[in-house]
Amino acid sequence: MATVRATRRAVVTGGAGFIGSHLCERLLEDGAEVVAVDNLVSGDRANLAELVGRPGFTFVERDVCPPGLPEALPGGPFDLVMHLACPASPADYLRLPLETLETGSHGTRSALELARRDGARLVLASTSEVYGDPEEHPQRETYWGHVNPVGPRSVYDEAKRFAEALVTAHRGVHGTDTAIARIFNTYGPRMRPGDGRAVPTFVRQALAGEPLTVAGDGSQTRSLCYVDDTVEGLLALAASGLPGPVNIGGDEEITILELARRVIALTGSRSGITRVELPGDDPVRRRPDTTLARERLGWSPRTGWETGLKKTVSWFSELPPAPRMTADHV
């Protein structure tokens, strides 16, 4: 296992987002002071409601892209920068294509300059989308990917691919202590019901008694990871000396059709399943090879799908009714 280092002061960009808010919570529980940065374009203040007012936590509402990010943050110097800022769901990056690309480029540069100033370790939250519609299965970190640079998903895919290149170059030129995490499909409480991803869409549809909208024939696969496990993986990478990239994701591959059936069974819903058109460039298969994370970080997912889905369903069941929606199955 890689050498473990302690975190005293951390910055989490995208801290009001789904994974970011869970990460802020865990860092605080571990005794770190945390500054969450988010422009709330896709994040939500409600995700941080239980953290506001807690000793050691600060929220800064601002974009990561304009210059001056290091000077704009209270506290510091920081020893960890977790860079999660970026629209991540189809609904968001299709609505905000230029902002998504700017966050991957200018936003990543700002986060790197902050890390360089303070001698902090920076962890880039990259994505399995850098593999595109993969021709290698399962996907290892050495795989270069099969990505359409001008396709409907390209703004997100290429933003993350460029961010990885920028982080790697910054490490080489300036010696910045960096790491790249390639996050696979993550689910859990605080996902937005209308963000277009399969789990929140299916859960909301099942709870509302609506048909679950499965794209295509539903044979496309994903490997799901509960958010607590993803956070554990990110922190394990942060505490190590590995530069990455390192895959962080679930090890159980499941078809979208089977996922829909499991959600119906788990919620006790009488919903049926209806078919919708398959989105363009939708990956056919997606499963990480997590050998590197297991052997070098001592990390592997621990939350079974039934436990994770039960927690997710419980959280969604307390939300007010949401508009009808379909899943993009990201």
Query: Which token pair is 97?
Result: 């294509």
| Number of domains, the chain | 2
Looking at the fold, whether 134 and 208 belong to one and the same domain comes out as no
pLDDT tens string for the chain (330 positions)? 444 567 899 999 999 999 999 999 999 999 999 999 999 999 999 999 999 999 999 999 999 998 888 888 988 799 999 999 999 988 899 999 999 999 999 999 999 999 999 999 999 999 999 999 999 999 999 999 999 999 989 999 999 999 999 999 999 999 999 999 999 999 999 999 888 899 999 999 999 999 999 999 999 999 999 999 999 999 999 999 999 999 999 988 999 999 999 999 999 999 999 999 888 777 888 999 999 999 999 999 999 989 999 999 999 998 865 544 444 544
Looking at the fold, whether 161 and 208 belong to one and the same domain comes out as no
Looking at the fold, whether 143 and 209 belong to one and the same domain comes out as no
The CA–CA distances, whole Å, from 28 to 52, 206, 208 equal: 11, 34, 35
Looking at the fold, whether 176 and 68 belong to one and the same domain comes out as yes
- Residue (of 251, 235, 228, 231) closest to 311 by Cα position: 228
Q: Are 7 and 27 in contact (CB under 8 A)?
A: yes
> Is position 324 within any domain?
no
Q: Which domain holds residue 218?
A: 188-223+252-286+303-316
**Catalytic residue from among 93, 131, 156, 226:** 156
Which domain CATH number covers 147?
A: 3.40.50.720
> Is position 206 within any domain?
yes
- Categorise residue 40: left if φ over 0, alpha if ψ from -120 to 50, beta otherwise: left
Looking at the fold, whether 77 and 219 belong to one and the same domain comes out as no
Q: Are 289 and 138 in contact (CB under 8 A)?
A: yes
pLDDT in tens, 221-270: 999 999 999 999 999 999 999 999 999 999 889 999 999 999 999 999 99
> Is position 297 within any domain?
no
Ordered DSSP codes for 32-64: -EEEEEE--SS--GGGGTTTTTSTTEEEEE--S
> Is position 294 within any domain?
no
Cβ burial 284-311 (10 Å sphere, 16+ → b, else e): ebbbbbbebbeebbebebebebeebbeb
Looking at the fold, whether 138 and 13 belong to one and the same domain comes out as yes
pLDDT score recorded for residue 283: 84
Q: Is 156 a catalytic residue?
A: yes
Looking at the fold, whether 116 and 242 belong to one and the same domain comes out as yes
Looking at the fold, whether 73 and 198 belong to one and the same domain comes out as no
pLDDT score recorded for residue 324: 47
Q: Are 298 and 232 in contact (CB under 8 A)?
A: no
Looking at the fold, whether 27 and 74 belong to one and the same domain comes out as yes
Looking at the fold, whether 234 and 147 belong to one and the same domain comes out as yes
> Is position 326 within any domain?
no
pLDDT score recorded for residue 321: 59
> Is position 291 within any domain?
no
- The CA distance from 330 to 283, in Å, is 8
Looking at the fold, whether 240 and 148 belong to one and the same domain comes out as yes
Which domain CATH number covers 207?
A: 3.90.25.10
> Is position 112 within any domain?
yes
Reported pTM: 0.94
Looking at the fold, whether 86 and 181 belong to one and the same domain comes out as yes
> Is position 293 within any domain?
no
